């Protein structure tokens, strides 16, 4: 009888580890499924928010950040040549000028008034002090005055400043 009791206990012990293994596998599968669902749900909601923010971003960014158009340059030909009388000696200045703008239509509207613009610049250049023009600071000051003069004319004639900068591409003093 003792033999009979020992045999069922041995077979019950063998069946118990198989049941534990099934339980461990089921728990591991449940944990993996929970982690997968968590990652999938997070990805789904974040991609949905990202897509809506990408769609809304251009609408919100457009008024806040104006797009800067590429620079357009208009060379004023022929070069400006003006004379100075300094201490009884004739002095000359030759300046090649370029206008920098961002809108071609506005620049074309300003070209209609080119004789007035050239007249303003000739008067400005001829009224400059020759000694001051010998320094880089003097040339920069003249350039800024020319920019202000051209912008003033542009606002008067076209309603907008049009020209961002007046650039001296070549300047010769003699």
Q: Give the CATH number for residue 80.
A: 3.30.1130
On whether both 82 and 167 belong to a single domain, the answer is yes
On whether both 51 and 79 belong to a single domain, the answer is no
Q: How many whole angstroms separate alpha carbon 17 and alpha carbon 83?
A: 110
- Mean pLDDT taken over the chain: 83
Q: Give the helix/strand (H/E) hosting 162.
A: none
On whether both 101 and 55 belong to a single domain, the answer is no
On whether both 129 and 164 belong to a single domain, the answer is yes
CA distances from 163 to 33, 73, 93 (A): 65, 10, 23
| Domain limit, last residue, from 67, 84, 117 | 67
On whether both 121 and 78 belong to a single domain, the answer is yes
Q: How many whole angstroms separate alpha carbon 120 and alpha carbon 97?
A: 13
User: Which residues are CB-neighbours of 153 under 8 A, at least 6 positions away?
Assistant: 110, 113, 116, 117, 120
On whether both 106 and 159 belong to a single domain, the answer is yes
On whether both 80 and 108 belong to a single domain, the answer is yes
Sheet with 163-173, side-by-side order of all strands: 72-86, 89-101, 163-173
Q: What is the pLDDT of residue 59?
A: 53
Calculate what percentage of the chain has a pLDDT beyond 90: 47
Higher-pLDDT residue of 103, 7: 103
On whether both 114 and 34 belong to a single domain, the answer is no
Is residue 133 within 8 A of residue 139, CB to CB? The reply is yes
Label residue 152 by pLDDT band (50, 70, 90). Answer: very high
On whether both 54 and 79 belong to a single domain, the answer is no
Higher-pLDDT residue of 62, 88: 88
* Position 48 pLDDT exceeds 80: no
Label residue 124 by pLDDT band (50, 70, 90). Answer: very high
Q: What is the pLDDT of residue 19?
A: 82
Domain hosting 51: range is 1-67
Coil, helix or strand for 52? helix
On whether both 108 and 144 belong to a single domain, the answer is yes
On whether both 63 and 79 belong to a single domain, the answer is no
Structural domains in the chain (count): 2
């Amino acid at each position: 009888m003792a033999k009979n009791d020992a045999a069922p206990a041995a077979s019950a012990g063998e069946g118990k580890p198989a049941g534990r293994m099934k339980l461990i596998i089921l728990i591991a599968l449940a944990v993996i499924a929970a982690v997968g669902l968590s990652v999938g749900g997070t990805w789904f909601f974040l991609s949905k928010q990202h897509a809506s923010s990408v769609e809304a971003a251009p609408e919100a960014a457009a008024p806040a950040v104006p797009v800067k158009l590429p620079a357009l340059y208009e060379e004023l030909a022929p070069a400006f040549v003006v004379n100075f009388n300094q201490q009884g000696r004739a002095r000359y200045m030759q300046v090649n000028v370029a206008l920098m703008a961002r809108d071609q239509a506005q620049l074309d509207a300003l070209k209609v008034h080119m004789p007035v613009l050239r007249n303003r610049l000739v008067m400005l250049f001829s009224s400059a002090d020759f000694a001051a023009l010998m320094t880089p600071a003097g040339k920069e000051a003249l350039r800024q005055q020319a920019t202000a003069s051209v912008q003033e004319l542009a606002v008067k004639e076209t309603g907008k400043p049009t020209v961002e900068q007046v650039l001296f591409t070549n300047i010769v003093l003699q």
